[in-house]
Structure 1
Amino acid sequence: MRRAACGVVVIVRDVDVVVIGAGQAGLSAAYHLRGSGLSSVVLDANPGPGGAWQHRWPSLRMATVHGIFDLPGMRFDPPAPDERAADAVPAYFAAFERRFSLDVRRPVKVSAVRPGDDGRLLVESDHGVWRTRALVNATGTWTRPFWPVYPGQETFGGRQLHTADYPGPDAFAGQRVVIVGGGTSAVQTLLEVAEVAADTTWVTRRPPVFREGPFDQEYGRAVIAKVEARVKEGLPPRSVVSVTDLPWTPQYAAAAERGVLVRRPMFERIEPDGVVWADGTRQAADVILWATGWRAALDHLAPLRLRGEGGGVVMDGTRVVADPRIHLVGYGPSASTVGANRAGRAAVRELRVLLAAPGSGDAGVAGGAVQELGVAAGPG
């Protein structure tokens, strides 16, 4: 038995592949790993199944969700339109985990992934360390809401919040609300808040584009191609949602007739009682709701130095070009439900080849093999 410098024994478990995250992409990867001949474990920071869906705002109903794609091998039977998305989708994910007996450990928060001294990776967490031959990272974006910075933002006397913390429309009753963002989340919250607020103002950096045609496979491929081009160049990916037009639904048409979907360009600065445009126009506000999206949650991978000069990670499909042991699923072009499924399958297909190749290390380790090693668990 060896001890870390601070006298703490850290249990290190050996496994072929660690999957971080149990959202759509992580579960897809875990499903395909089952029959791969590789031992695996899924580490999920959430308290229960459902990925980011369990954190969606309470007023989001299945009737307004723009489609949930089946996980591999198990159909998603559409629930009642008025059922909360934060209940329906996590229940589906939980049933999927049970049906296929996936080894999901939760809540396990991964703090860092580091290169080991034996050609493997060390996945450090609040529940010990996993030593792995390969990594599938599926941490998504929900834990990293993006807050843009505007002059005077710190002087605002009202309330500022991100859609990640949107509590539902009742919290805005009788208030003047500025909603910032051009995506589906912004429009959905705008329509809800407008029902109870004293006034709503919708601002976006670019004019929104509404699409009356179908969101079919051809359109989907065109959208994915826009995102994929950036990650191949090593640039931080734009979200799939950011390059997807807004669907022109009967609900949106009705809101437009009521004068709710009136878009204004971005303001120039924020003052204590509202926002101001470049021409001096002012809008009083009690609340600024930032529906400005998310960024990829990759901070725990920083010790691996994967980011390139462009600030992003250079990718070839799901594989990190700088380190073929690492695959990012639910990142860039696969950050959608349909893209996540394909990414999970593709990542496992490549890892089966990599880990079976000469010079890749052991042909496989028994799942759950445990050692007690002196891996530092913090300052001693």
Structure 2
Amino acid sequence: MTQHTDVVVVGGGQAGLAVGYHLRRLGIEHLILDAQTAAGGAWQHTWDSLRLFSPAAYSSLPGRLMPGQEGHLYPDAGHVVAYLADYEKRYELPIQHGVWVDAVHDEGTLLRVETDSGTWRARAVVSATGTWTRPFVPAVEGRQEFTGRQLHTVHYKNPAEFAGQRVVVVGGGNSGAQIAADLTGQAAVTWVTQRPPRYLADDIDGRALFDAATARRKTLDEGRTDTGGVASLGDIVAVPPVRAARDAGLLAARPMFARLTARGAEWADGIRQDADAVIWTTGFRPALAHLAGLRLRGTRGHIATTGTRASEDPRLHFLGYGDWTGPASATLIGVGRTAREAAREIRTLLS
């Protein structure tokens, strides 16, 4: 059976909820389809020790401040999941969990959204699927030869399963630094980065990062010289566990190895390091397979956008994929502005 609505939002994480909030405020009929079986988006699947970069009040979606977590300045992932679940209920957002969107097709004036639970036709679609389901691992020589365990950030939970092992952590961003720090004390860690780690000043947290991203957006909108935004400040937020490991000399990064061997890593100068496991903290790609039928992909799989809107199809918007669709839009506090802009554009389209 085919059903109809004005807008289908694909993805019920923080980006999907934020745009749902603004669509609801504008009185636009919509439906949020979420592949997760419960509220909380990707926050349900992070490693155990993960905490936000910002205090709760600076990690909020539009309309509802995140309450603080007792005993913690920076809330953990479980607190975020509870907040998102409460957000859904508080605003009575029309979300269906456990629904996988297979494809979106063009049907003239409408878009056909095919799912494992039926078909919807809509006048606009917002893709808010994020990146968590598309982990990226680089094509490193010898990756198939390594006989130890290989896993990505998405599969890491806690250091207990690596106790006494030799672990190579690959990646110089926040995930790499945090997981390497998490493992110290239980495993023999070799941290490998493409370039020397760039720590932000110790007093910088998510509040300052959001301000930097916002300032950069204003600069670009006014046609002035690009300030570089967050990237100009560094790559790694020195959260307390990372700072402690760094200051104790436990996060001395080595340059990227040349290849993997059956037993571990090997550098260009012939130095080798045996390993029981390699953890790839090498980032993600946007999860956009459901849009393949629209044939909008450009070079390197990128879809051209104007703001959050697909440049070639004004019925399609993207939210929560990072700077590609708005400064800090992959963050709790940052996605609200782009969600509001997308909802307003959709209102204009529908009218």
Same fold (TM over 0.5): yes
Which of 200, 204, 218 is 2:189 aligned to?
200
Matched, 1:65 2:52: yes
Are the equivalent residues in 1 in contact too, given 2:320–2:335 (CA < 8 A)?
yes
State the partner residue of 1:369.
none
1:353 paired with 2:348, answer yes
Percentage of pairs with the same residue? 46
Counterparts of residues 163-312 of structure 1 (less than 5 Å): 163-197=153-187, 199-212=188-201, 214-215=204-205, 216=208, 217-221=210-214, 245-312=235-302
1:105-136 Cα shifts (integer Å, max 9, x gaps): 011000000111x4100000001011000001
Distance 1:340 1:27, change over 3 A: same
Q: Which residue of 2 aligns with 1:88?
A: 79
Q: Distance in 2 between matches of 1:341 and 1:218?
A: 14
In the alignment, the residues of structure 1 paired with residue 122 and residue 290 of structure 2 have an alpha-carbon distance, to the nearest angstrom, of 15
Give the deviation of 1:87 after TM superposition. 2.1
Determine which structure has greater relative contact order: mean sequence separation of CA pairs < 8 Å that are 6+ residues apart, divided by chain length. Answer: 1
Q: What code does the residue aligned with 1:219 have?
A: A
Further displaced range: 164-173 or 84-93: 84-93
Confirm or deny: 8 A CA contact 1:56 1:85 kept in the other structure.
no
Q: Which has the larger radius of gyration?
A: 1
Distance 1:315 1:337, change over 3 A: same
- Offset, 1:277: 0.5
Structure 1 CA distance for aligned equivalents of residues 135 and 345 of structure 2: 31
3-state secondary structure, aligned to 1:129: strand
Q: Secondary structure, in 3 states, of the residue corresponding to 1:136?
A: strand
Q: How far is the alpha carbon of 1:294 from its aligned partner?
A: 0.9
The residue correspondences of 1:122-201 to structure 2 (distance < 5 A) are 122-197=112-187, 199-201=188-190
Bigger mean CA offset, 261-270 vs 337-346:
337-346
Q: How does 1:96-135 map to 2 (within 5 A)?
A: 96-116=87-107, 118-135=108-125
* Aligned-residue offset at 1:345: 0.7
Query: What's the CA shift string for 1:186-218, capped at 9, x where partnerless?
Result: 111111111201x11000112221111535244
Q: Distance between the aligned counterparts of 1:227 and 1:313, measured in 2?
A: 20
Is residue 331 from structure 1 mapped to residue 324 from structure 2 by the alignment?
no
CA contact (8 A) 2:53 2:239 kept: no
Residue 340 of structure 1 is aligned with which of 330, 335, 340? Answer: 335
Paired with 1:226 and 1:146, the residues of 2 have a C-alpha distance of: 31
State the 1:223 CA deviation. 6.6
Distance 1:226 1:107 in 2: 41
**Is this contact kept in 1: 2:61–2:335, CA < 8 A?**
no
- In structure 1, the residue corresponding to 2:27 is in which secondary structure? coil
Residue pair 1:183, 1:242 contacting (<8 A) in 2 also: no
- 2:52 alignment partner AA: V
Is the CA contact (8 Å cut-off) linking 2:172 and 2:235 kept in structure 1?
A: no
Number of residue equivalences:
330
Question: Contact 1:17–1:135 at 8 Å: present in 2 too?
Answer: yes
The alpha carbon displacement at 1:158 in A equals 0.7
Structure 1 residues 90, 218: closer, same or farther in 2, change over 3 A?
closer
**Stretch deviating more after TM superposition (85-94 or 163-172):** 85-94
How far apart, in 1, do the equivalents of 2:153 and 2:220 lie? 23
Using the TM superposition, give the Cα deviation of residue 250 of structure 1 relative to its aligned residue in structure 2, in angstroms: 4.8
Alpha-carbon deviation of 1:59?
3.0
**Residues 312, 353 of structure 1: alpha-carbon distance in 2 compared, 3 angstrom cutoff:** same
Q: Give the alignment's Cα RMSD to 1 decimal.
A: 2.3
Decide whether aligned partners of structure 1 residues 190 and 50 sit closer, same or farther in structure 2, where only a CA change above 3 A counts.
Answer: same
The answer to whether the 8 Å contact 2:6/2:122 transfers is: yes
> Structure 1: which 5+ residue stretches go unaligned?
1-10, 229-239, 357-380
TM-score, scaled to structure 2: 0.88
Structure 1 pair 244/39, CA: closer, same or farther in 2 (3 Å)? farther
- For structure 2, the 5+ residue unaligned runs are 222-229, 324-328
* TM-score, length of structure 1 as denominator length: 0.82
Aligned to 1:43: 33
- Name the CA distance, whole Å, in 2 between partners of 1:148 and 1:243: 25
